[in-house]
């Protein structure tokens, strides 16, 4: 049985209710797809009303390209599937010769003529560059080839581009790679599809991992009620921008300014969105019952837009000061943020509820690339009982699972509860004052997470 068949069988066993035909289509998608795990976006401190607010990274990545990552393409693999040893910076042992080597991801366009690819491979071999994998993206004219390379450590990005250009490659883009890029692409994509099948909040993350560093916006349905506005049912592709009909209405827009999308990447993104649409609204069923220090029990579970009425009821029980600390604006505007905050398209929400089912606390994890935002609101009567710290720890654990480099909280210096909760994480913290607002950023590198005091928040959403 192939790796793909094994993965599909595993998915069928652990994700009840997924149709057999859908599993088959997911296997077909995986056979022609791969993805990266690095992406960057940024939004303002207040919850936006019409999109994720993500922006392109402020500085380009190292390499000859201007800084946008690309998803792995489909095609035949060449060379080794894994490297013997790879450090965190992408440098690897070159096979025992005692010379440092480096992993590179490279994309270039070659003529669709016999011998073009062979000439390029021969030129790389002359410079002792090992081709670990090759993925192809056919175009109307020519072919975009995406390589994972292991090159001598002294070979620079500029020199690598010169070698490729001399061999007939055009529009070449390079970026340093790491050990994550060595994982078998079909297996990784099936895992990505399984995560999306379990949790609607995974779709934005899945698209980023599929397409590399990019800006993703979820826009509401156009005025007049036409779903997707002017976007056709099959979506649209325009060079560095692709648009897809969102499952709940509206449009998902993906932008990658420095590297055009290929038709193959567009088809993969569309297949992933169609998978999400066919499965409909869903949340993992996991929940934990926790006993507070005073003896009261609360349940922590995932929440979504179906909890908006209960969240509004909690707003009504909160004081104006509590709401003002959370939303940094007019208290009367608090309710209008809830549809955004509770939408799985923009992040994940945890709710703390009493034995009677009344929500008394909400914690939000808003997708923001390497600096994901966390926010908390606990009803006045339930403050200072450890609920906020419990929610925050679980949200940060979720962020760490998705490879976020840091999380930040926007609050006021007088909000001692939020400051104490951030300090209670046991993570390195940075404090900044921006326009009179306190921004606390916690770093989530591997060493920091190992020493942190994070609860096992990942259980919420994995059952």
Write phi, then psi, for 398 (nearest 5 degrees): -65, -45
Kindly state the percentage of the chain with pLDDT values over 70. 72
Q: How far apart are CA 48 and CA 341, in angstroms?
A: 9
**CA dist., res. 326 & res. 320, Å (int):** 10
Continuous H helices in 74-184: 116-126, 157-166
State the burial class of residue 278 (Cβ atoms within 10 Å of its Cβ: 0-12, 13-18, 19+).
middle
Q: Per-residue pLDDT for 95 more than 60?
A: no
Q: What is the C-alpha separation between 111 and 144, in angstroms, rounded? A: 9
Rounded Cα–Cα distance for residues 116 and 377 (Å)? 60
Could you give the CA distance from residue 381 to residue 317 in angstroms, rounded to a whole number?
A: 9
If pLDDT is split at 50, 70 and 90, which confidence band does 435 have? confident
Instruction: From 446, 364, 405, 398, select the one nearest 39 (Cα to Cα).
Output: 405
Strand ranges for 184-296 from DSSP E: 215-219, 236-238, 241-245, 251-255, 287-291
Considering only residues 52 and 434, tell me which one the structure prediction assigns the higher pLDDT: 434
Q: Which of 19-23, 164-168, 183-187, 198-202 has the lowest mean pLDDT?
A: 19-23
Residue 457, pLDDT score: 42
What mean pLDDT do residues 191-199 have? 84
- Give me the torsion for CA of 150, 156, 162, 165, rounded to 10°: 40
Residue 165, C-beta contacts closer than 8 angstroms, at least 6 positions apart: 172
pLDDT digits over 12-54, tens only? Answer: 444 444 444 444 444 444 433 332 322 223 333 333 334 333 3
Q: Which long-range contacts (CB under 8 A, 24 or more apart) does 89-97 make?
A: 89/176, 89/178, 90/176, 90/177, 90/178, 90/179, 91/153, 92/150, 94/150, 94/152, 94/153
In 3D space, the residue among 223, 441, 153, 22 whose CA is nearest the CA of residue 11 turns out to be 22
In 3D, which of 412, 407, 287 has the Cα closest to residue 353? Answer: 287
Task: Flag whether the pTM goes above 0.85.
Answer: no
CA 349 to mean position of chain CA atoms: 16
């Amino acid at each position: 049985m192939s790796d793909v068949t094994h993965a599909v069988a595993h998915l069928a066993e652990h994700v009840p209710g997924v149709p057999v035909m859908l599993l088959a289509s997911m296997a077909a998608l995986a056979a022609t797809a791969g993805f990266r795990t690095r992406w960057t976006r940024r939004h303002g401190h207040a919850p936006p009303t019409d999109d994720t607010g993500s922006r392109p990274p402020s500085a380009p990545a190292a390499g000859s390209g201007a800084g946008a990552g690309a998803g792995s393409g489909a095609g035949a693999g060449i060379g080794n599937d894994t490297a013997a040893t790879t450090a965190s910076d992408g440098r690897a042992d070159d096979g025992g010769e005692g010379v440092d080597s480096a992993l590179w991801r490279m994309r270039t366009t070659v003529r669709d003529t016999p011998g073009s690819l062979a000439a390029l491979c021969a030129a790389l071999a002359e410079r002792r560059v090992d081709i670990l994998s090759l993925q192809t993206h056919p175009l109307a004219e020519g072919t975009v080839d995406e390589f994972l390379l292991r090159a001598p450590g002294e070979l620079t990005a500029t020199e690598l581009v010169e070698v490729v250009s001399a061999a007939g490659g055009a529009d070449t883009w390079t970026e340093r790679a790491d050990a994550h890029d060595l994982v078998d692409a079909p297996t990784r994509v099936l895992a990505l599809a399984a995560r999306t099948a379990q949790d609607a909040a995974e779709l934005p993350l899945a698209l980023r991992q599929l397409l590399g560093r990019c800006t993703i916006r979820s826009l509401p349905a156009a005025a007049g009620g036409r779903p997707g506005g002017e976007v056709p049912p099959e979506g649209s592709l325009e060079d560095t921008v692709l648009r897809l009909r969102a499952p709940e209405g509206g449009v998902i827009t993906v932008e990658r300014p420095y590297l055009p999308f290929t038709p193959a990447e567009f088809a993969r993104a569309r297949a992933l969105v169609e998978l999400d649409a066919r499965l409909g609204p869903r949340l993992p069923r996991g929940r934990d019952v926790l006993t507070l220090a005073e003896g009261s029990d609360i349940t922590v579970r995932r929440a979504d837009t179906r909890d908006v009425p209960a969240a509004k009821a909690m707003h009504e029980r909160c004081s104006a000061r509590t709401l003002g600390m959370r939303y940094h604006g007019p208290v009367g505007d608090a309710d209008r943020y809830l549809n955004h905050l509770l939408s799985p398209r923009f992040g994940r929400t945890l709710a703390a509820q009493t034995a009677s089912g009344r929500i008394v606390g909400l914690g939000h994890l808003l997708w923001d690339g390497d600096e994901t935002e966390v926010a908390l609101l606990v009803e006045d009567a339930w403050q200072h009982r450890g609920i906020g710290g419990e929610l925050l720890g679980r949200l940060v654990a979720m962020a760490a699972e998705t490879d976020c480099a840091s999380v930040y909280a926007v609050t006021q210096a007088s909000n001692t509860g939020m400051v104490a909760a951030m300090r209670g994480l046991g993570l390195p913290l940075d404090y900044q004052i921006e326009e009179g607002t306190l921004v606390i950023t916690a770093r989530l590198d591997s060493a920091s997470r190992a020493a942190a005091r994070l609860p096992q928040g990942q259980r919420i959403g994995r059952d």
